[in-house]
Structure 1
Amino acid sequence: MIIWQNGQDECILNSLESCAMNLWSDVGKYYGLIYCFEFLAIEGRSNKWQDCFDQLGLPLASILNCSRGNGTELAKKCIDETTKLNPPHSFLPWVVINNQPIAQDYANFTYFVCKAYKGIAVPDACNPIR
């Protein structure tokens, strides 16, 4: 059994987020959903999570089926990965790039991602940095 630090709302949202990451290969799609969920939580409106699907035009049925099925197990996999971090995370957000935490400099994560990027086609976000 998992006991969520911030209660039942966190459990529901983590399960939905884990299902989205598992079902959709499009990072932008599930990142947008997670971003929306997190802002609802900040605003104290976690119970309005279905609004995020409407706002983003995302399909709800497959995520709900997953969440009711193995959503908690998928969330547990994320928890397990977090507990394996070395060094262990000490605050949030804990951003890791190529197995190296960027610690309190997370606001500059684009710089670190671009610096680590080895591909040929340079992403637009990296053009002013490189």
Structure 2
Amino acid sequence: MLFRNVISILLIFGTPSLVLGCGFPPDLWCSSPEISEKCGVEKQCSLWHSKQALTDVPLVRYELYYESLCPGCKQLILTQLYPAWLKVQSIVNVTLVPYGNAQENKYGGKWNFTCQHGPAECVGNLVETCILSILPFDKAFPFIHCLETYNPSTDGKYCASLYNLLSYWPSIEECSTGPNGNSLEHDMAVKTNALNPPHQYVPWVVLNGVHNEEIQSQAESDSLALICNAYQGVKPAGCTKTGFIRSPVKKIL
């Protein structure tokens, strides 16, 4: 595999004349800096190692547990997570869980939800949950960013029109008012209630499976730096300037 990858790179960038007399077989050309220098393929091997780093390193896992009308949640999404995701989405896997401090109980075959900021928040949670279910994330997150900018419970159709997603709106609306959305929101409740440690407020950030106050504080002040520092591979260009320093968001207990 190494041999084929190196050969592919050399065919793209041209085979240096020195390679032919360097005394090492192709599968060793990128095995050490000394050999790659002797064979005249430093640039090509550097490119190959960079490609391997991007391929082999796992994405950063950033989970946000929130509720749709929570002011602090809105602030984190609008000023931290979404701008960071736009810059470095190639290295981070974002999971949004719209439930937060809600409560649920089952009556008959249906889950009933009680939300901290009232019935409108329950509607917003359901709409955003259905968006995440129906759309790929690269379309769902901008849609949810728009809803959090305006009103998740009333501005769904408007935000769909802004992102050329009106054809999806009937399915999203049907989901959010029907049994499918009810079941999906229950899944969000299960995921939230399974947090260890249990969440004490929202927004609640889990990074690579871990929540602590240091992670939470940096997520609130500079999510871009948090993601970039957690990534173990070659940093993308979006990591070169963080500069998203904000005052801590207000936690909703």
Percent pairwise identity? 32
Please tell me whether the aligned partners of residues 123 and 153 of structure 2 are also in contact (alpha carbons under 8 angstroms).
Answer: no
Q: 1:66 aligns with which of 172, 175, 178?
A: 175
Query: Is 2:224 aligned against 1:115?
Result: no
Please tell me whether the aligned partners of residues 40 and 49 of structure 1 are also in contact (alpha carbons under 8 angstroms).
Answer: no
Query: Is 2:191 aligned against 1:81?
Result: yes
Equivalent position amino acid for 1:104 in 2: S
Instruction: Choose between structure 1 and 2: higher helix proportion.
Output: 1
What is the RMSD of the two structures over their aligned residues, measured on CA atoms? Answer: 2.2
SS at match of 2:171: helix
What is the distance in 1 between the residues matched to 2:153 and 2:237?
A: 33
Structure 1 segment 1-130 matched on structure 2, within 5 A? 1-25=112-136, 27-41=137-151, 46-58=153-165, 59-69=168-178, 70-101=180-211, 102-106=215-219, 107-118=221-232, 122-128=235-241
Which structure has more relative contact order (CA 8 Å, sep 6+)? It is 2
The 10-residue stretch of structure 1 (92-101 or 111-120) with the greater mean CA deviation from structure 2: 111-120
Q: Deviations over 1:67-106 (max 9, x none)?
A: 2331122122112211221222233221111012222222
Q: CA deviation at 1:119?
A: 5.1
Q: Deviations over 1:32-74 (max 9, x none)?
A: 1222222224xxx842332111122213122123223311221
SS at match of 1:95: strand
Equivalent position amino acid for 1:62 in 2: S
Equivalent position amino acid for 1:90 in 2: Q
TM-score, scaled to structure 1: 0.78
Residues 46, 118 of structure 1: CA spacing in aligned structure 2 closer, same or farther, 3 A cutoff? same
**Which residues of structure 2 form unaligned runs of 5+?**
1-111, 243-253
Please tell me whether the aligned partners of residues 143 and 163 of structure 2 are also in contact (alpha carbons under 8 angstroms).
Answer: yes
Please tell me whether the aligned partners of residues 36 and 52 of structure 1 are also in contact (alpha carbons under 8 angstroms).
Answer: yes
* Greater gyration radius: 2
SS at match of 2:154: helix
What is the distance in 2 between the residues matched to 1:79 and 1:124?
A: 36
Equivalent position amino acid for 1:66 in 2: C
